[in-house]
Amino acid sequence: MSAPVTDSNDSARPMLFQPFKIRGLTLKNRLVVPPMVHYRAGPGNTCGTFHNVHLGRFALGGFGLVFVEATAVEEVGLINEHDLGIWNDAQAQSFNPLIAFMKGEKTAIGIQLAHGGRKSSSQRAMDGMGPLTPQDIEAGARMWQPVGPTSEPVAPGWLTPASSLPKSAGRWCAPGQPPPEMRSLQAST
């Protein structure tokens, strides 16, 4: 799949800290931060101060690659209302400060594109990660109709999803809009 990148074989430096090439991407080392879901998106499901600080600290720590947490490809695909999104230009552009910082630290950045499917419209992990309760809704939690491959709820008490995906299914975007994977690539340039 890939091989270490070495101009000179530095046997004194462990391979963990040597550059590593994957296709056209060369990482400064093999230290990778996987996606960690925090449900701390800014207004409009944007990337904001929390993610800049949280993920930026790993770049400062010298990691070679840092992944952004599960980022919804469409609004109905949010796991909960606090997820990051990348289905519109404002959301894609909200990643620019984080991307610029990572580039400045010579740290590669990746993104985990996601869709909540039948688990959409649920609680945050720190609130139980289950279906929204009447207390959650009374406290102001936003609820919507999830979509999935079947109309079977995840478990008793969960919302029954619509069994057919929206017209945009397969493209994960509105007609005339770039797909989320393209938005993430455009944001990184």
Look at the block and give the residue holding tokens 């056209």: 24
Q: Are 115 and 73 in contact (CB under 8 A)?
A: yes
- Strand 20-22 to 3-4 pairing: antiparallel
The CA-based diameter of the chain, rounded to the nearest angstrom, is 63
Element (H, E) at 70: strand 65-72
> Closest by alpha carbon to 48, among 90, 89, 97?
97
pLDDT of residue 170: 53
- Region for 62 from its dihedrals, namely left if φ exceeds 0, alpha if ψ lies in -120 to 50, beta otherwise: left
> What is the rounded distance in angstroms from the CA atom of residue 68 to the CA atom of residue 83?
11
The pTM of the whole model exceeds 0.75: yes
Q: Is 32 exposed, middle or buried (0-12, 13-18, 19+ CB in 10 A)?
A: middle
pLDDT per residue of the chain (189 residues) written in tens, 0 to 9: 555 555 555 678 999 999 999 999 999 999 999 999 899 999 999 999 999 999 999 999 999 999 999 999 999 999 999 999 999 999 999 999 999 999 999 999 999 999 999 999 999 988 999 999 999 999 999 999 999 988 999 999 999 999 865 554 555 555 566 777 777 767 766
**Overall residue count recorded for the chain in this entry:** 189
Q: Are 98 and 110 in contact (CB under 8 A)?
A: no
33 token code pair: 């931060």
Kindly indicate whether the domain formed by 31-176 is annotated with CATH number 3.20.20.70: yes
φ, ψ for residue 68, nearest 5 deg: -80, 145
